[in-house]
Amino acid sequence: MSLNDFNPTEKKDTRSGFGDALFELGKQDKRVVGLCADLIGSLKMNAFAEAFPERFIQAGVAEANMIGMAAGLTIGGKIPFTGTFANFSTGRVYDQIRQSVAYSQKNVKICASHAGLTLGEDGATHQILEDIGLMRMLPNMTVINPCDYHQTYNATMAIKDWEGPVYLRFGRPSWPMFSGKDRPFEIGKAWKISAGSDVSIIATGHMVWFAILAAKELEKQGISCDVINIHTIKPLDEEAVLESVAKTRCVVTAEEHNKHGGLGDAVAQVLAMNLPTPQEYVAVNDKFGESGKPTDLLKKYGLDVSDIVAAAKRAVERK
Amino acid sequence: MSDINQLEELATQIRRDIVRMVHSVSSGHPGGSLGCTDYFTALYGEILRYDPSNFTMNGENEDLFFLSNGHISPVWYATLARHNYFPVSELATFRKIDSRLQGHPTTAEHLPGVRMASGSLGQGLSVAIGAALAKKMNGDNSIVYSLHGDGELQEGQIWEAAMSAPHHKVDNLIATVDYNNRQIDGNVSDVLSLGDLRAKWEAFGWLVLEMNGNIIADVLSGLKRAKALCGKGQPVIILMKTEMGAGVDFMMGTHKWHGVAPNDEQLARALEQLPETIGDY
């Protein structure tokens, strides 16, 4: 595909991709159990909860207990999907996930909405920017951050049959639908969006759309971009990263996360070990967020399309 | 099945196993392990329905047991070995490199009998509730048992779980509290008191029983009474009075043997009080 083929007209929130897929999974597989910590509407779990009350557990505002119950449900062959905000899905319950899920190798799907700055007006208490780091540090954990409605839907469907703990991260805002309904989703396999030769732009989550917009702009300025969507941050598709960077010899990573511990660091680690390369981070610069409109926040914290464009130029100059 | 004398002999052997295991590696938690030996002996000797020859993670149509206060792993390991989950000779590897018998229980080493890692306190009750809910969804009538330290009840997650089990009518769960009033830094009542524990659990909607955890006959009858209360729409919890270090005189009456191993001389004194019955590992 060429970058010019991406002209989405429709928008939808990624959390609806999760909710719609969970409902579908409920129909397909009786082992699927939903758990939610008093955020059914926010997580779009209504359809599942209404259709399958016998397989839905309202956990209340008691996230630690929810994670523990989910771990217990796997002992009995269930495939539990827990739903709450990303902040309460990770930082609040880190030790429960560490011991009862990851170390115990339990088949729990931790599904987290309202990740990052685009949660918006609720502000920093809820805008977790450290969750990818927290989750990718855990052995046995798979970490997925899809980029739009369809990819979130497809990721939700895919993790049901992926044995082991998964952290699935998505968000609140309505976002352009550009990945396509029928694009195959394979856990751990990057989506190579466009082929270019001057710079690799590797992005995850909402920032993938901005990476496409930035690449369009850069192409106009004569800089050819290799745009890659890493939806699975762990296990990382190292081959895709190395193949791209071997060609372009410089890279920009873009993520709605702190610059510490996220996609940028995951890519940097692979490059440091295999192919040392100039890299520019488009990420939050070790700060907490604040209240505001998602687009204003992305701008203020250096996650706008223009930030990716500027980072790409810096990366090219460092070659 | 087993008569009380046989169970008492087994308990004495398990106590020998515990002090020998902990002494051999100069680390581990003998106090709570000794205090709960009679509970484990009764539970695995006569109450639980399980199949050690065919251990499965899901434990379909079996009773399940979760140890939430994972630091008393010596008594659990010794019990599992004595009930043929794995060879008793493996007890000699406790806490040593490359062992399946980790300091705190884990599923990572695939030790038969263990379904959940524990050690970081306060998590086991939630897990037991989840497993009990899965059994209900599966139409599996067996029962889930869990054991918790009293110091462990200071963890907030316990009270989240305490709220949730009655709400979800988890009536196939029998939790037990090792109520010895000891924790690492001293008496529970001095460190962070639990208040009226019976009233607390009752207020949360649990059926509360009490038993003496160091009299096997009392443990058996307590667990049987608890079983009879299952299926009535409420979870059951047993406040089990125990003496930390029970069976070894110099380890009793203090919190100091919570997590300290005996030296050679202390081991000899302990073993004098615990005659070999079934045979050492």
Judging contacts by C-beta atoms under 8 Å, the chain B residues touching residue A99 are: 117-120, 123
Round to whole Å and give the CA distance between B143 and A141.
30
Residue with tokens 């050819």: A224
Round to whole Å and give the CA distance between B259 and A298.
51
Is residue A283 within 8 A of residue A311, CB to CB? The reply is no
A72 vs B107, B127, B157: nearest CB: B127
Cα A226–Cα A227–Cα A233 angle in degrees, nearest 5: 125
Per-residue model confidence as pLDDT tens digits over A94-109: 999 999 999 999 999 9
- Domain shared by A165 and A231, yes or no: no
What's the pLDDT at A172? 98
Round to whole Å and give the CA distance between B17 and B8.
14
Is residue A127 within 8 A of residue A289, CB to CB? The reply is yes
- Domain shared by A172 and A281, yes or no: no
Round to whole Å and give the CA distance between A312 and A201.
8
- Domain shared by A82 and A121, yes or no: yes
B57, B115, B123, best to mutate vs chain A, most A CBs in 10 Å: B123
Is residue A52 within 8 A of residue A79, CB to CB? The reply is no
Compute the average pLDDT of residues A284-292.
98
Percent of chain B with pLDDT over 70: 99
User: In terms of Cα–Cα distance, which of B119, B13, B140 is closest to B69?
Assistant: B119
A86–chain B nearest CA distance, Å: 19
- Residue A169: inside a domain: yes
- Domain shared by A152 and A254, yes or no: no
- Domain shared by A266 and A156, yes or no: no
Per-residue model confidence as pLDDT tens digits over B160-186: 999 999 999 999 999 999 999 999 999
B115–chain A nearest CA distance, Å: 8
Q: Contact B137/A55, CB-based, under 8 Å? A: yes
The residues that bridge with A113 in the sheet, in sequence order, are: A85
A59 vs B123, B138, B164: nearest CB: B164
Per-residue model confidence as pLDDT tens digits over A26-47: 999 999 999 999 999 999 999 9
- Domain shared by A169 and A20, yes or no: yes
Round to whole Å and give the CA distance between B249 and B259.
16
The DSSP annotation for A146-215 comes to --SHHHHHHHHHHHHTS-S-EEEE--SSEEE--S-TT----TT--EEEE--SSEEEEE-TTHHHHHHHHH
User: In terms of Cα–Cα distance, which of A270, A98, A118 is closest to A167?
Assistant: A98
Scanning B26-87, the segments in alpha helix (DSSP H) are 30-35, 37-42, 73-82
What's the pLDDT at A1? 73
User: In terms of Cα–Cα distance, which of B206, B189, B190 is closest to B198?
Assistant: B206
Q: Of the residues A140, A155, A176, which one is the last residue of a structural domain?
A: A176
Round to whole Å and give the CA distance between B94 and A183.
51
- CATH number of the structural domain spanning residue A304: 3.40.50.920
A110–chain B Cβ distance below 8 A for any pair? no
Q: Of the residues A127, A156, A176, which one is the last residue of a structural domain?
A: A176
**Amino acid identity for residue B266 in this structure:** Q
Judging contacts by C-beta atoms under 8 Å, the chain B residues touching residue A70 are: 130
- Domain shared by A158 and A276, yes or no: no
- Residue A30: inside a domain: yes
What's the pLDDT at A2? 86
A96–chain B Cβ distance below 8 A for any pair? yes
Indicate whether B11 pLDDT > 50. Answer: yes
Is residue B213 within 8 A of residue B38, CB to CB? The reply is yes
C-alpha distances in angstroms, B269 versus A306, B24, B263, B278, B280?
76, 15, 10, 20, 16
Tell me which residues of chain B have a C-beta less than 8 Å from any C-beta of chain A.
Answer: 57-60, 64, 106-108, 115-120, 122-135, 137-138, 140, 156-157, 160-161, 163-164, 167-168
- Domain shared by A209 and A165, yes or no: no
Average pLDDT over chain A reads 98
User: In terms of Cα–Cα distance, which of B265, B64, B28, B67 is closest to B173?
Assistant: B64
- Residue A167: inside a domain: yes
| Cβ neighbours, 10 Å, residue A28 | 11
Is residue B21 within 8 A of residue B28, CB to CB? The reply is yes
- Name the residue in chain A with its Cα closest to that of B139: A76
H or E segment and range at residue B279: none
B115 vs A75, A95, A96: nearest CB: A75
Is residue B158 within 8 A of residue B148, CB to CB? The reply is yes
Q: Which two tokens stand for residue B27?
A: 């680390």
Round to whole Å and give the CA distance between A127 and A180.
28
What's the pLDDT at B79? 98
C-alpha distances in angstroms, B267 versus B248, B261, B279?
10, 9, 17
Single out the catalytic residue among A24, A50, A54, A63.
A63
Is residue A257 within 8 A of residue A133, CB to CB? The reply is yes
B127 vs A57, A68, A78: nearest CB: A68
- Residue A36: inside a domain: yes
Q: Contact B164/A75, CB-based, under 8 Å? A: no
Q: Contact B129/A76, CB-based, under 8 Å? A: no
A63–chain B nearest CA distance, Å: 9
Round to whole Å and give the CA distance between B83 and B76.
10
The DSSP annotation for B7-37 comes to HHHHHHHHHHHHHHHHHHHT-S-HHHHHHTH
Judging contacts by C-beta atoms under 8 Å, the chain B residues touching residue A105 are: 107-108
- Domain shared by A90 and A204, yes or no: no
Total count of domains within chain A: 2
- Domain shared by A146 and A19, yes or no: yes
**Amino acid identity for residue B235 in this structure:** P
Is residue B222 within 8 A of residue B42, CB to CB? The reply is no
Q: Contact A73/B131, CB-based, under 8 Å? A: yes
Parent domain of A230: 188-317
- Residue A181: inside a domain: no
B133 vs A57, A96, A103: nearest CB: A57
Average pLDDT over chain B reads 97
Peptide bond into A235 cis (omega under 30): yes
Q: Which residues have CB under 8 Å from B35's CB, separation 6+? A: B178, B180, B213, B214, B242, B243, B244, B245, B246
A77–chain B Cβ distance below 8 A for any pair? yes
- Domain shared by A204 and A117, yes or no: no
pLDDT bracket for residue B2 (50, 70, 90): low
Judging contacts by C-beta atoms under 8 Å, the chain A residues touching residue B108 are: 103-105
Q: Contact B58/A75, CB-based, under 8 Å? A: yes
A126–chain B nearest CA distance, Å: 21
Tell me what ipTM this predicted complex has: 0.97
Is residue B129 within 8 A of residue B171, CB to CB? The reply is no
The residues spanned by each domain of chain B are 4-272
Q: Which two tokens stand for residue B231?
A: 């299926």
What's the pLDDT at B1? 47
Q: Contact A65/B160, CB-based, under 8 Å? A: yes
B131 vs A33, A64, A72: nearest CB: A72
Q: Contact B126/A100, CB-based, under 8 Å? A: yes
- Domain shared by A143 and A227, yes or no: no
Cα B64–Cα B70–Cα B76 angle in degrees, nearest 5: 60
Per-residue model confidence as pLDDT tens digits over B105-147: 999 999 999 999 999 999 999 999 999 999 999 999 999 999 9
Compute the average pLDDT of residues A142-154.
98
- Name the residue in chain A with its Cα closest to that of B169: A57
Sign of CA dihedral B83, B86, B88, B94: negative
Round to whole Å and give the CA distance between A247 and B123.
49
The fold of the B4-272 domain, in CATH, is Rossmann fold (3.40.50)
**Amino acid identity for residue A238 in this structure:** E
Would residue A130 show up in a list of annotated catalytic residues for this protein?
no
A98–chain B Cβ distance below 8 A for any pair? yes
DSSP letter at B149 equals: E
DSSP letter at A56 equals: E
Judging contacts by C-beta atoms under 8 Å, the chain A residues touching residue B119 are: 99
Judging contacts by C-beta atoms under 8 Å, the chain A residues touching residue B57 are: 75
Pseudo-torsion of CA A97, A100, A104, A105, nearest 10°?
-50
Judging contacts by C-beta atoms under 8 Å, the chain A residues touching residue B106 are: 103-104
Q: Of the residues A116, A149, A176, which one is the last residue of a structural domain?
A: A176
pLDDT bracket for residue B103 (50, 70, 90): very high
